[in-house]
Every structure is written in C-alpha cells, then in structure tokens.
Amino acid sequence: MAINEEFRKQQRKRYRSMRAVKDIVMALIILGIGFLMFFGKHFHLLQGLMESKDPLILNIFGSLCVLYGGFRLYRGIKHEY
C-alpha cells in the first residue's frame, strides 16, 4: 500500500515539473511574439508583414500576448496547478 502511495506522489511531482517547463517555454514564446508585435518595426524584423498591418491591431494583439505570456510565466514559476 505504501509503495503505491509513493509512486503516486512521484508521479504528481513529475507531472508538476513537466507542466512547469511547458508553461515557461510557452510563456517565452508568447512573450516573444508580443514583443515582436511592439518592436518589430523598430528592428526591421518582418518589415513587409508589419507595414501591411494596422498599428492598432498590432498593439492590441501584442498587449494580449504580453499579458497572457506573463500569466503563463507566473503560473509556471509558482507551480499553481
């Protein structure tokens, strides 16, 4: 009986670790996209794509990406599952 409980405890710990890594990696990707939306024109990244889009839409989408990426990063660091 104790072996089964120990196995489940290790399994939950591994799940939390994997979920934390996934959240941190996804947060970095989403934050990168958000900052690309904000500063892509300044660094001439994806210049043709950035010039054809409305700046208001880029700022709104960039803001949402930064907020959601920040939330994912917070959740990955705090391990709140």
**Per-10-residue mean pLDDT, the chain, length 81:** 84 92 95 88 70 83 95 88 63
- Please name the residue ranges forming H helices in 1-81: 2-39, 47-51, 55-78
Residue located via tokens 């917070």: 74
The pLDDT score that the predictor gives to residue 43 is: 73
Residue located via tokens 């670790």: 17
The pLDDT score that the predictor gives to residue 61 is: 92
Largest CA distance in the chain: 64
pTM of the model: 0.79
Q: Taking a C-beta distance cutoff of 8 angstroms, is the pair 53, 59 a contact?
A: no
The pLDDT score that the predictor gives to residue 47 is: 66
Burial of 27 (0-12, 13-18, 19+ CB in 10 A): buried
